[in-house]
Every structure is written in C-alpha cells, then in structure tokens.
Structure 1
C-alpha cells in the first residue's frame, strides 16, 4: 500500500493485513445483530497502478484503452528525447499530476500519488465497472458508501485539438510543487461530478426498490465552496448525496474563535441548505488535526456537545470521544505520503500522521491496540491517562460525556425533530436552543473562553423556562447531572459547557 489503502488494487477484495472476506462477512453479521450499520469507504477517483484495469490500459487491451486519462504530451524543445506534460496541473501530493509511462509511451493523470492513476469517467465503461463494485458490496449487506475525494472525479474535457488548459496561479504560495500554487478550476468541481453523484444515488435507490431494506446511504467528502457543496444534495429534479460532509467546523473555526464565529459557522450551513435536506456536522477526521489540538483540550466536551445538539447527523472521528490529542511525530517517523513527498523543513505543513495514531484502549503496552514491538505510528505519551478503560472508571470523563450525549440524542424527540435557534450571547458564550411543541426544551451553553461569564438567556429567548435541569456538564464543571438551576442569570466557569433540559 502506498496511501494506507486508498491505492486500491482490487475493489472486491480485503487487504490481507486486515483479514479475509470471511472476517469481513463475520463483522457485518455481528454488526447487524447489534443494530449497527456498516458503511464502506468508496474511492472512485483512482485505482492503484497495480490494478488489473490499469495494467490492461497500459497494454491497450481492447475495452480498457481509455479507462484512464492518457495523453501524448508535447515535444520538449530543449531535449528531443524528452516529452513535456500535457498541462501544468499539480498533484495533491506535490509535483506534476502527469507521469510518463514508458511502456504505453504516454502520460497518465494522477491527482494524488503517481501510484494512484485517475480513472476516466468520460468512458461509460468505467461507470459501469464502478456500479458493479457497488453491487458487489451492497449484496454483501453494507448500508452505503462514504465517497472519497469527490471533487476530483472529473477534470475538464480536452478541447477539439486534445489540449488541456493550464490552471491559473492562486497567489497562495510561492512553492510551485505545492498543489495550492494553482487554482483548480479545471481539475475539481466540474458539473459532471455532481451529475455522477445523482446517478449513483439513483442506482442505490433502485437497488433498495428491488431488494428492500433500509435506505442505502451516500456520504460525500467535499472541501469546496458552500454553493458547490449544496449542489451535491440534489438539484430539484434529481436527488444526490444524503450527507455531503460539512467540514466548516474544521475549516472555519479553531481555538482562537469567539462565540460569534461559531454562530457564523452554523449559519453558513443552515442558511444555505434547502429545508428538505438533512444537516450534518463534522468536527474531526483522519485528514485533519484532532479536535483537542485544534480547539484546545479544554474545549473537547464543548465541541462534542455542539456536535450532538445541532440538528441532523453528527460525525465523530475515532478518538474524539475520549479526547485523544495529536502526537508530535518526527520526520523520521513520518509515514504519510503527503508529507514524505516534501522535506524535513516543510513536512509539518502537509502531514496527517499526528491524528492517525493508534486508538488508546487502556494503559497496557501500545495502549492496548497492538502487541507489536512497534506500532506504525507512535502512541501518544498521555495514553496511561487518556484511554477507554480509565475514562469508563472515572467519575467524570470525556467518554462519559460523549455516551450521555449519544443517549440523549436517542431519547430526546426535541433533538431528533425540534427547531433550532442559536446566538452568541456575548463574545465568549454560544447558546443553542432546540424546541419542539409538547416536548422539553434543550439548551446548550458553551463558554469558549478562559474567563467566567454570566449570561441572561431568558432575555434572548422567551421559550426558555425559568428553571432547567442539568442533563450533561463538561468535565471541568462543578455542576452535576439532574441538578436544578435557575436560568435567569447563569454564571459559567472558564470553558464550562452545559446541556440543560
């Protein structure tokens, strides 16, 4: 593997390091017995260069000649034995997005690693092949797909002379190898990409119609402007992704943000999303630093509370429920290709390794994750304190807060169906109210600052009752669950957050 499995050599097999197909089927069966739905990670943009399709395409086997994006390139005026790439397009992992294949005597496009050639979705045979992959896993019983790297699936079509246009400079960096050196107007967010998502949604809906069962879901990974992301929901005629991921709490807020900044992030999604669709909130994932490292460890509970109280789907990256932090990883221990393709001076700009360290189960060797002498990435030195076993035993912990939040979401009709109201009560306190006729009001108060704050929530919302019960309190709070408190004036300690009912 060159990119932790995102370089797929066989879409219908299990990588041997992870087990066998029998293991996967046993996992599916047990998950179903526990009422857990399993969603597969689908990587449609590219395959491994070891994939049978690519090998056949290299050899121009009939039917596979145009499975990938190939181009002759151009003569090098300075070297007659050399060819120049078709365009200035850059890989997300640095350098040209074009690589010369000696055997085929053409360049192929790779928007990620050179070992990850881009599929050509302008070829209907590629779409058919990927739909066959979907059917394979749906027949196994998966509940749907998280679709990776969606914006790059299509690139602009070559012109009548077979030429691809150069992308303009962005002005964001002076490093010509960095993908951010260019503005990706020809290699990302092409209109055909949303159309493909609509087709995939129709394919899954038709599968459900024929085979019964629950909705087969699509979740799309998209770091794009808000107007483009919203197109992935649908266009009024066709339905698209059930959940186009909302990464705004990753991209637009951090530990320096004030309460109005949090409110603005909520508004950005809620004000742009068509009302018939379902919102979603993502505060962490495997491509970004951990919540406790971006927002500060003192805000871990606050962010999980916000995630769970807002309407719609809540998405948690493993480890955030126990408050795991980034690990400081040296250049010598770095394994992420996005960083390894750079150099010791700048790799920290690109590495995703700090948030990908082994999950911390207990205080035994390797945090209980592995019996190996050395894990693929180092364990955080705090693992003896921050682990599942310790947090289950503690009177208060991030894990217990998280479990209480999940239970509240499962039982509260207000959180499931209620209206949303939110406001920055001052620079440091965010209030989020959920209300539903005939059900209890839920109120989240978040103090994001290191100073005590007094707020008057009834002046903001007349729907707030004069007294409420504490349902969940952050670990640094002095308040306890089921404690009744008057809400006419509430003083929050530094970084204290409360869920009241």
Structure 2
C-alpha cells in the first residue's frame, strides 16, 4: 500500500510538472505574441517638447530686411510689416541682429547704450509693438546680445577712462612697457593681434594705459574676470526679458576671457606661425592661444544660465533661452552646453560645422561625418542644431551651388533639433555684389585692398532681402540703400517664387510643414552615403511614416540602389523634391535602382516601421 501510494504520488508530481511547463511555455508564447503585436501596432509614448527644441529659428539682419521709412536702412517697423512672411514660411522664432544704440562701426556689434534702440531702427515703442505682434502670431523674438565688448562711446568706457568708481575696472587695462628705443613711447604688454588688423592693444592718452580690443579699436573688451561686470550684464538682460523678449543670442563667447598677466604686468605672447592667415583660429601671424577659448570663459556663461533659469522659474510662461555663438573645436564647443556634473550653459550652442567643414566639393560621406560628428560629441539629453549660413559668411547658395539649395534646406529641416535659417536662404538668395567703393564692412576696409577686399568682406551676404522685382527689390523706396541690392533680384525674389508653381520657397514651406510630423520631432536617425555623392538620411518612428532624404551632392548624375536604405519599403512616394527634379510630389518609386540629377534631392514617404 505504501509503495503504491509512492508511485501514484510520483505520477502526480510529474503530471503537475508537465502541466506547469506547458502553461509556462504557453504563457511565454502568448506574452511574446502580445509584445510583438503591441510593438507592431502601438506607437511609442513620446516626451512633450519645449517650444525651442524642434523649432525653425530665423535670423533677421534688421538693417537689410525691410525699410519702412525710406532712408535705405531696414528697421523694426519693417520687420513688423513683414512678419506675415515668417508666418507663411513656418518660422517659430526670430533672432534679430543688434538693435541697440551704436555708432555702427561694426554695424551694431559696438554698443553705446544697451538699454536704448538705435535711432535708425526705431524706438522702444516700435520694439514693443513688434514683440506684441510677433507673439500674437505665435513667433518668438530673441535679441542679439554682445557681452564681450561695448563701444568706446559707451558711458561705461568713458567713465573707465576717467577711473570713475567701479567703472575703473570694467575693461581690460594694462600699463605696457617702456620702449628702449624711444623713451617717450610705451610698448603693448603682448604681441596679441586684433581680428580686424593691428595690435589688440590701443593706447589711451587720458588714462595713460593700453586697453584691450579683440575687434576694432572702437570695441573695448569688458573685464569679465570682474564679477561686478558679469552682474551688470546680467542686469541688462533682465531689462530686456522684462520687455518680453524670449531669449538671447550671445555673441563672440570664445573671446570673453583672455589669459591673465604675470606679476610684472606682462601678458603671454601668442605663438607665431610661419604662414600668414586669417581664420577663426589664426589672426595674421599668430595663433589665438591666449585670447580665445579660455576655460575661464565657461563659468561666466554658466552663471548667466543660472540667472536665466531663476528668471524662468520666478516669472513662469514659456521658457526663455540662450543661443551661443562660438567658432571653436568640438570639445570646447560642447562645453557651451554645460558640464557632465550638471552645470548648464546655452540651450543652443550654434553648430557651424556645415560652414567650416563642408564645401561644394565635399562627398556624401563628408556630410554624413559632419552630422555624426556633432551628435557623437553632444552631451546626453541636449538638443542639436544646424546652421548653413549667417551674416558673417558667404551665403549658402554661393558657397555651394544653385542646384544644391533645396537639398541643403531639406537637410536642415529633416535633421533632429533646431533648424536655423539665415534670411534669404528660403528663396535661395546668393551673395550680392558690393564694389570696393560701396564696401562698408570694417573687416574688409581694415584687412583688404581694392584687389583683395572680397576675401574679407561680410557685405555680400548682408545685401538687402529680395521681396519683389520692383526698384530696390521692394526693400526700400530710397534712391540709395545702405548696401546695393543684388543684381539678380528681378529673377530671384519672394513674390515671383510665391507665384511660380515650383520654387525654392514652396519647397521650404513643404519642409517646414513636414517638421510637424512626429517622425521628425521624435524619430530616430540613420545617415550615410549610398555612393560617393548620394547622401541618405532616414527618420523613423514606430507607428509613424518613415521619411527619407536622398541628396546627390555631386556635379553629375548618380545612380544608386535603394535596397541599401534602412527602414524604407517600396513603393515610396515623393513628398517634395528639388525645383529641377523631374519627379514631382506624389510620384511613386517602385524600382530599387534610381538615378538622381546633379544636386537633386528627393524627400520620400514610406510606410511606418512596425518593430525593431
């Protein structure tokens, strides 16, 4: 009886074990099937984005945008008059070139009063109306703020020259050294060269000292080792935040702090190089080792970010942000985002890699490398941005080729993060011709000659916007504009492109509309070269359409195979294409082999990725 009971117990245990195993297996299969079904059908939960994290940001060079009063100079009322264009274009935020009082030696980057509007641009009342109108249209307004230096006409500098109170130490002053060959002369305390030519040190005969200026002699450097100065500039930003601005673009940050002097008052000489050049890293025959990209710069920015974060917390509303300008190597640029330990800097440190690292001879893999380069170094949780042109560099269409304009616009709009447009890029504006006689850029005037000035001039990308084919391109009714209008304005202008069935501007509108799709705001990115000259960019997000950019950056037709494209299933539909493409919106692509004309771009829409 006992033995029989034991046998029955063993059989029961085995049966239970088998049953449990079968049930567990079925559970795993059911769970796996459920997960597979859910992964195929359910879009992922998406993080809400702040307004700036995926916006189209548009740079307005106020002096060249629209003249409202017939003096040949763009102004704030002109900007307000043409906010409709920005709304039509799909722009969400604007940063204005400097609008503060200035003698205009460097066209606003030499500020004589940070709390007043420059008279040629309007009044504070005009500014208030512009901000209110822009906000009513859903457009943010950011100001170009210059914290590195002021104008020599600023009262701060005048008081510093006279050693008045705290202002005595607002700027960088140095005694220099006796000239052994001339007892009545003083020598500068270092060999530092100005970016705009000549010594970085200028003697002031009233104070009997040299003052530092990295740019023109009319732009003395603030002493940002002085915490009083840092706080004073913070107070200026607060003034404009209280006026309703949505943030600032901080100018020339790599130059904020220079190396300190030794105990004798001598500053370290920048190293000399054998070949004379003028780049973002070299001025003349010296490298900017002690005058640029100093590690002491970053704590100043982080302190200002602390101030801005506190302002946001105290005042509520939409986030106010910092944009930062800095031509620096990738490691130094990434520090503008902040530190690994949690300090925060700029929300958007400008990414100039498409200006400094890519040319019209670059291959597709060069483009892919530049994109991966930024995203690889960017700290976790930060937001990327992409810049193809600005007021300091030749226009995108001139640096590359006319046939590449739409492809470059598509690249800007389809990459993750902030898409930045310099005024005129949306219609493919090229550099305007400016003769030596009409040249006003101080850099070209100081560095250049009638034969070489165009190597240095920043005037060509600053010529007035082409609104239509009327005199002065609809920019101004004046007999003469501050810079001449581009010679091609009758064929290349906004009004014509709005009338034409196919144009750069209409491609731009399609692209800004496409940015509303979750695939572009939240999707993953794949980028590479299908060939030497054809770039591909794939954006994909489970449950949402897959979007693909194909862009032939070469000068000849290129045939590629599409089966190498990740996450794209054929047939695919053309969403938009280059103005010179034969494939128009709605065109269906079935074949794995595709030939692209030189410069041709296609944006394709494919079915969603169902699982990974």
TM-score by length of 1: 0.97
> Residues 210 and 487 from structure 1, CA distance in 2 versus in 1: closer, same or farther, beyond 3 angstroms?
farther
| Structure number, greater radius of gyration | 2
Query: Aligned pair 1:187/2:294, yes or no?
Result: no
CA distance in 1, matches of 2:558, 2:506: 25
Aligned with 2:473 (options 367, 387, 392):
367
Q: Give 2:59's aligned residue.
A: none
Q: Pairwise mapping of residues 47-126 of structure 1 onto structure 2 (< 5 A)? A: 47-126=150-229
DSSP 3-state at the match of 1:446:
strand
Say which is worse superposed, 364-373 or 257-266, in terms of deviation.
257-266
Verify the 8 A CA contact 2:112 2:151 in the aligned structure 1: yes
- C-alpha deviations, 1:457-490, integer Å up to 9, x for none? 22241x1111111111110011111222225222
- C-alpha deviations, 1:29-50, integer Å up to 9, x for none? 0000000000000100000001
Say which is worse superposed, 66-75 or 152-161, in terms of deviation.
152-161
DSSP 3-state at the match of 1:404:
helix
- C-alpha deviations, 1:209-263, integer Å up to 9, x for none? 0000111111110100001101111102201111111000001111111111111
- C-alpha deviations, 1:33-73, integer Å up to 9, x for none? 00000000010000000101000000010111110000111
CA distance in 1, matches of 2:424, 2:108: 20
Verify the 8 A CA contact 2:473 2:485 in the aligned structure 1: yes
Q: Give 2:595's aligned residue.
A: 491
Say which is worse superposed, 392-401 or 163-172, in terms of deviation.
163-172
- Structure 1 unaligned spans of 5+: none
DSSP 3-state at the match of 2:422:
coil
Q: Give 2:271's aligned residue.
A: 168
Q: Give 2:386's aligned residue.
A: 281
> Residues 322 and 197 from structure 1, CA distance in 2 versus in 1: closer, same or farther, beyond 3 angstroms?
same
- C-alpha deviations, 1:380-426, integer Å up to 9, x for none? 1110111110000001111111111111102x100000001011111
DSSP 3-state at the match of 2:186:
strand
CA distance in 1, matches of 2:378, 2:562: 27
DSSP 3-state at the match of 2:199:
coil
- Structure 2 unaligned spans of 5+: 1-103, 606-612
Aligned with 2:131 (options 28, 46, 55):
28
The Cα of 1:161 is off from its aligned counterpart by 2.5
Aligned residues: 498
Q: Pairwise mapping of residues 232-311 of structure 1 onto structure 2 (< 5 A)? A: 232-236=336-340, 237-311=342-416
Verify the 8 A CA contact 1:95 1:179 in the aligned structure 2: no
CA distance in 1, matches of 2:385, 2:225: 31
Q: Give 1:433's aligned residue.
A: 538
DSSP 3-state at the match of 2:165:
coil
Verify the 8 A CA contact 1:56 1:64 in the aligned structure 2: yes
CA distance in 1, matches of 2:272, 2:351: 27
Q: Give 2:100's aligned residue.
A: none
DSSP 3-state at the match of 1:422:
strand
Q: Pairwise mapping of residues 2-17 of structure 1 onto structure 2 (< 5 A)? A: 2-17=105-120
Query: Aligned pair 1:226/2:330, yes or no?
Result: yes
The Cα of 1:125 is off from its aligned counterpart by 1.1
Aligned with 2:577 (options 468, 473, 476):
473
TM-score by length of 2: 0.80
Superposed CA RMSD: 1.3
- C-alpha deviations, 1:132-182, integer Å up to 9, x for none? 10100000111100011110011011222222110001344179xx82421
